[in-house]
Amino acid sequence: MHKLLSWMAVILWMSLIFYLSHQPAAKSSELSTSITEVIIDTIETVAPQVKIEKGDLHYIVRKNAHFFYYLVLGILVVNALRRSGIYGYKSILLALLICILYAVSDEAHQIFIPGRSGEIRDVIIDSTGSNVGIFGYLVVSWVAGSRNRKVVRTSSKMK
C-alpha cells in the first residue's frame, strides 16, 4: 500500500509541475509577482531601511520555485523507489535520471506555451533541486536509521 501511495504522490507532484508549466507567461508571471510583492511587503515591515529591487527579487522567486518543485520531486521519487525495493546507488541514480528527464521534458513542453521558453539553465536549477532533495532524503533516512539502531542495541543490552 505504501508503495502505491508513494508513486501516486510522485504522479500528483509531476502533474502539479506540468500544470504550472502549462500556464501562459502572463498568468505565470502574475502568480510569481504576487508572491514577490508579499515578500517585499514583509521585508519592508520588518526592515524598512532595506531597499529591494522588485525585478531582481521576482527573478529570484521564479528560479527558487524551480529549485523547490524539483527538490520535492527528488524526495518523492527516491522515496517511491526505496519503497519499491530499490536501494543504494541504483535508487540514487534512477531517481536522478527520472527527475532530470522530467525537467528536460518540462522545459521542452514550455516551448509550446504562449510567451514561455525552454531553458537549459532551468534544467540545471531543476536538477540541482532534485539532487538536494534526494541527498537530503538519504541523510535524514541514515540519521533516523542510526537512531533506531541505537535504540535497538540499548534495549537489547537491558534484557
Q: Around 18, how many Cα atoms within 13 Å sit in the side-chain half-sphere? A: 8
The reported pTM is 0.87
Per-residue confidence of the chain (159 residues) as pLDDT tens digits? Answer: 899 999 999 999 999 999 999 999 889 989 899 999 999 999 989 998 988 888 989 999 999 999 999 999 999 999 999 999 999 999 999 999 999 999 999 999 999 999 999 999 999 999 999 999 999 999 999 999 877 766 555 555 555
DSSP secondary structure letters along 7-28: HHHHHHHHHHHHHHHTS-HHHH
Q: Could you tell me the residue ranges of all domains in the chain?
A: 2-158
